[in-house]
Structure 1
């Protein structure tokens, strides 16, 4: 895998705080910030990635109302490829399929992108998958809307009009118009973020910190609603994605996230990897780590790929194994 970049700070607390702030600014955007950009005429490319496991595609919900100018992206067909023997449930799509989907949505290398989703995904899981893929594919400026569609609608309900900054303002009403953006020029160049295969994940669990982003009961092997075997990769640490967000569905502060991950053994100088069930919620954990100033590699195949090979070891219980 590509090496994790060297920490660009000198190790002092003020520099680390700045890094955490920078990580948040380059990974997420608030509703007031985005609304202000749109009303100021500097709107980014907006991607709507609604998705919920087991539900139909989010296109009908998108058509009922979405952020003004947002283009719908289908996770199953545009952010994942067909499942095959030995793969996880959401393998990476062919790079040409992903690139074509992004260009159709108007994504260009020189224009910022903001991604959001809605409901039932732990505060941005599907959006984080799109964020991770674009960053992995070389786009330099991608952020997730903090709190997603629910945060946008909550701001709209305040009736304060478009926001102009962190301190105030609502959001714009949802739109039912389907935009037809000009073709973008984005050409994927994979390698912008590190990723792991099964063997690399197993090795990292022993020499660094491999975080398991699934619910704790799935990690312990008490339940497994989706995959044929319950448990976790030996050596992995339980780190449920749901603990990255507040009750309102927005990300916890950079320092709160950093404290959470440091308590799990994952600091800015640690080699960190993340997996989940199929590489979706784990992308959210990578995003949370980025907000905290910590680089992490994603095991895209995750538990669904790990258990597709019956020869791979499985640990159960609360210990790493």
Structure 2
């Protein structure tokens, strides 16, 4: 299933389908006013999702800045959002789908296949001349999703801190660093303990997943991009970022390209907090 939906198609489906749940994940690094931005203008009927409190557990050095949420936390959130097992869930943000991809990944990992991302987000909706509303939406609670407590994220592949460290040691494996190039090279590091990248990882900033209009690149263009990074159909691919949020954007881009990838949830915030882990700097993997 194509994981994306465009604004006109979403508007058409909203007119005829009552079981669509719209989620607005208005979050950006360094901007704590997501709820305020949502209240000012959002797609009619959309529910605000608090990424820090509903899509992640509290930060710790051992697990990273945005650990995957506990089963109870995520199940409670899906009930608040009004989700049922048969709901079509459509997610958007206003930052090139960087935050929306986190919610998409979690829902897919939890086994909810009927999950799409609004390509281009709020900007694409507005550019299509479609209406916005202000205020907030409080849906009737739904039954939510029931996760497997033993393996809650089995629907999507993940890799551990230990696996990330060895990911490039074998043939046919590629580890992609989804952060901006200057953070990969170690020139700047605004939030994590040590600048640099996981040794062996390749720089693949999420900005390269998007076309000039803020939508995801076409499947062929994304395949070409990842092929240039050594990712072929049989390649084992892992992706990380600073805290595991925007790396989901790269997992989504790879899916559009027809390539399955594993997410390193702890990402560089976990890796760099562990003094036993080496870090590399500069524009080369090692």
Q: Could you tell me the TM-score, scaled by structure 1's length?
A: 0.84
Q: Indicate if the aligned counterparts of 1:210 and 1:274 stay in contact, CA closer than 8 A.
A: yes
Residue 93 of structure 2 is aligned to residue 124 of structure 1: no
Residue 213 of structure 2 is aligned to residue 254 of structure 1: no
Distance 2:248 2:117 in 1: 12
Residue 145 of structure 2 is aligned to residue 186 of structure 1: yes
1:138 aligned to which of 111, 118, 136: 111
Counting only pairs closer than 5 Å after superposition, residues 10-159 of structure 1 correspond to structure 2 as 22=1, 25=2, 27-42=3-18, 44-118=20-94, 121=95, 123-156=96-129
Distance 1:220 1:32 in 2: 40
Distance 1:289 1:192 in 2: 16
Q: Indicate if the aligned counterparts of 1:105 and 1:184 stay in contact, CA closer than 8 A.
A: no
SS at match of 2:108: helix
Tell me which residue corresponds to 1:274.
Answer: 239
Deviation per CA, 1:219-265: give whole Å up to 9, x if none: 11111111121111111111000010012110000000011001101
Deviation at 1:177, TM superposition (A): 5.1
Over the aligned positions, Cα root-mean-square deviation in angstroms equals 1.4
Q: Indicate if the aligned counterparts of 1:103 and 1:186 stay in contact, CA closer than 8 A.
A: yes
Distance 1:28 1:269 in 2: 24
Distance 1:233 1:286 in 2: 18
Number of residue pairs matched by the alignment: 280
Q: Indicate if the aligned counterparts of 1:70 and 1:179 stay in contact, CA closer than 8 A.
A: no
Deviation at 1:267, TM superposition (A): 2.0
Tell me which residue corresponds to 1:225.
Answer: 190
Question: Residues 228 and 182 of structure 1: is their aligned pair in 2 closer, same or farther, counting only changes over 3 Å?
Answer: closer
List 4+ stretches of structure 1 deviating above 4 A: none
Question: Residues 184 and 69 of structure 1: is their aligned pair in 2 closer, same or farther, counting only changes over 3 Å?
Answer: farther
Q: Could you tell me the TM-score, scaled by structure 2's length?
A: 0.94
Deviation per CA, 1:28-48: give whole Å up to 9, x if none: 111011011012235521111
SS at match of 2:260: coil
Distance 1:155 1:205 in 2: 43
Tell me which residue corresponds to 1:238.
Answer: 203
5+ long unaligned stretches in structure 2: none
